[in-house]
Amino acid sequence: MENTKTPSLTPAQRLHFDIYGFVLLENVLTPDEVSRMKDALHHMKADPDLKSKRVYAHKRGDHHVLLGNLVEYDSALLEYAAHPKLVPLVEEIVGGKVRLEESEAIINRRDPEADIEELYSRRYKPTGFHRGTQHGWGTYIEQDKFHCVFVKTLAYLTDVGPDDGGTCVIPGSHRLTWPAKEMIEAALSDDKLIYQVEATAGSVLLFAESLIHSTTAIRSDKERTILISGYTPPMLREWPGNEVSPEFIETLPDEIKPLISGSDSWRWQRRY
């Protein structure tokens, strides 16, 4: 008999998330899923006419591209946004039903003009710490568990070792009301306060957007490919530029329409 139990975080994973603001979920995606998602993103990167397909692209030279509003482009990218192993975990953290807030990807290599010696001058090389909400607004505690109304899943489609640009975070910052600038300055003054994620392809980083996080400069010769979905309660709006067309939504199966469209906007109930 097929196991239809809804996925949930283990007690250890939930404790890790509550303490640190993130948890790495290992080997969530199958090799086939990784391959199809990665192929879709590289095809997108080479596509000369993304604008007509409602995809935005932000480039930093030839070594770095950020792609956004992905789910209409390829079914593999829609599958990630609606992944049945991940959406229930996001709902567990948000505390109720969610809608897709944004879908983005980054494909990058080491900056060819980077000073290698300078890249190794620090233990980690975060390129831009930030967060999308903060504790006190956008977060709450219910039944002793931490909840955040803006949560992301970040899939590693390539292996990421210590020199391959793994995501950097300031653990515990998701629950602090310090000004973000002060936390960032303090962490940069003592890099033991910074944690850099290492992961194998197919693993997924689940984190609260109140957690201060950053892309990290690549030191190796490897290319990094990551795929990101952001989620909020359905009554919140999608990130500008991530509006999914009504025509596309009409083609979706009924079970995922609310997730992609946010159509459950005022039916949200907390689930504990």
Instruction: Summarize pLDDT for 67-110 with one digit per residue, the tens.
Output: 999 999 999 999 999 999 999 999 999 999 999 999 999 999 99
The pLDDT value recorded for residue 122 is: 86
Cβ atoms of 77 and 227 within 8 Å: the answer is yes
Residue pair 3/178 in contact (Cβ under 8 Å)? The answer is no
Which pLDDT does position 157 carry in this prediction? Answer: 98
Give me the amino acid identity at 182. E
- 242 lies in some domain: yes
The answer as to whether 174 is a domain residue is yes
pLDDT over 70 percentage in the chain:
96
Q: Does residue 225 register a pLDDT over 60?
A: yes
Q: Which residue has the tokens 């482009």?
A: 73
Whether residue 266 is predicted with pLDDT greater than 80 in this model: the reply is no
Query: How many separate domains does the chain show?
Result: 1
Q: pTM (2 decimals)?
A: 0.94
Over residues 130-139, the mean pLDDT reads 93
Q: Is the dihedral of CA 154, 160, 161, 165 positive or negative?
A: negative
Res 205: pLDDT: 98
Question: Considering the domain boundaries, does residue 2 fall inside one?
Answer: no
CA nearest neighbour of 165 among 91, 224, 98: 224
- Residue 268 inside a domain? The answer is no
Identify whether 128 is part of a domain.
yes
**What local confidence, expressed as pLDDT, does residue 52 receive?**
92
Report the distance separating Cα 19 and Cα 65, nearest Å.
32
- 15 falls within a domain: yes
pLDDT at 271: 57
Nearest to 197 by CA among 216, 180, 183: 216
pLDDT tens readout for residues 163-186: 999 999 999 999 999 999 999 999
Write out the residue range of the structural domain in which residue 186 sits. Answer: 11-261
Q: Is residue 271, in this structure, part of any structural domain at all?
A: no
**Average pLDDT of span 133-138:** 92
Say whether pLDDT at 267 is over 80. no
The residue among 125 and 227 whose pLDDT is bigger is 227
Using the Cα atoms of residue 53, residue 263, residue 251 and residue 88 in order, give the sign of their dihedral: positive
Mean pLDDT for the stretch of residues 256-271: 80
Average pLDDT over residues 56-62: 92
CATH code: domain of residue 146: 2.60.120.620
- Asked if residue 1 is part of any domain, the answer here is no
Band the pLDDT of 1: cuts 50, 70, 90.
Answer: very low
